Structure 1
Amino acid sequence: MNKYLIGLLFTLLVPVTLFGQAPEVKRERIFTGTGLYGFMNGGADQFLEYGVSKLVTRDVVYKGNEYTIDIYDMPTAEDAFGIYSLHIFKCSRADTLGCIDCLAPYQLQAVAGNKYVSVVFPSGSEDAKSKVDELIRLYVPLDSKENPRIPEALGLSTPYSGKLKLLRGPISISGVSMPLANLVKDISYSGIWYIADKPAKGYRALIEVTDGKEVGKLKNKVEASDILQSGDTYLLIKGHEKETEQDDHGGFGF
């Protein structure tokens, strides 16, 4: 038998073999680039800041429950983690599927290699929640070998979900911390790893710059006592936030 036909049959039959029932796809849509504006109401700019190239969204029924599965193709695993980190909230379970993931009352979100995945189950039922892990594995491999690079300088251990954000540009930074956004306004950076310190009303931020000269510029803008660590292409600092009212996103991560 032709090897390509064998591969196709394997792809089609694995979901049934593993879990006894394949999802019933009610609707599937694909969006690329700025086509996201036709799908999202005001949120596309943030995704485009992280370089999203494609979104495949499916409404499915799996074992009697309705789900919406959104799979975003990002440039790197770090970009996938970055957009994921902005959308999770109050995980009841975190980083337990062999990847980086967050389960909330109505949604499972995960980072699978360079893909950010959201699975919403609007019923919120225990039955739907109990089957969502099976469902997500039918669409993306959850392999820790493809997890994003987390800088060792941060000194973090798993779970990372809920602790750490990766900020790529002015939209994401200003949405998280205006003092930090003002600090890096004239700095050329590739990403900022951000850890909130709510009890101290502050944060830690590892700013990765595109040129070593930017480290010196940053040091001139930060109090020496707020510099925790520095390297050729990064600066780890602590900062202070203004008091703001925290948003409550309910059971969803967006």
Structure 2
Amino acid sequence: MDERKRKREDAVRINKYLSQAGVCSRRQADVMIGEGRVQIDGETASSGMRVLRGQKVTVDGKPVRIQEDLVFLAFHKPRGIVCTTSRREKDNIVDYIGYPTRIYPVGRLDKESQGLILMTNDGEAANRIMKARNYHEKEYEVTVNKKITKEFIEGMRNPVPLKEIHAVTRKCRVAKEGPNQFRIILTQGLNRQIRRMCEYFGYRVTRLKRVRIMNIHLGDLKEGEYRPLTSRELRQLKEELERE
């Protein structure tokens, strides 16, 4: 196979390219392309154009490229660390990990929470995981400030209005684990969702730990440490994303 043919076969649609590079979702990329903000080798891109290996892509004049060596890490975020790539935040997750290549968090855990968060440089996979409409499961262990009642568990299982963010939660699975502890599985990622749900019923979260995202489990990963996903975890994750 000659080099020109190999380049054509490796060509990627421009909206997919921007998504894989972590710039935005494919839908957002289409909007940016329509606004004339994207260029390929200095030429304004149009919808449906493909990027060949070696071509230069820019958005608003800034170069963009796909990381050829994709990284997927499971990280046990400690309390106090902020899920942002902004260096203006002294406790940002990127500086805390200190990984040698550019990676970013998939979704968020609030500063007071701990547990599993995925870190990657695969922008398209990150966007797919974060889409609420895909109903991806996230599992948490939660401790609250007083004894849990049957009414509380039943209430948490059903839709809860969160007036502060003008949203209503989806039905979810909740199980009591101890006098003050419960386990909850969400398919949403609303801002401070579990804390707000508990507050609605007069409870306050004292400890919140995420232990699973889709097929990825925190397991015995120690606080502040990370590990690469296993080949099996990565294969299962990508198979699930491809089915959507």
Q: TM-score, normalised by structure 1?
A: 0.24
1 or 2 for the larger relative contact order (CA 8 Å, sep ≥6)?
2
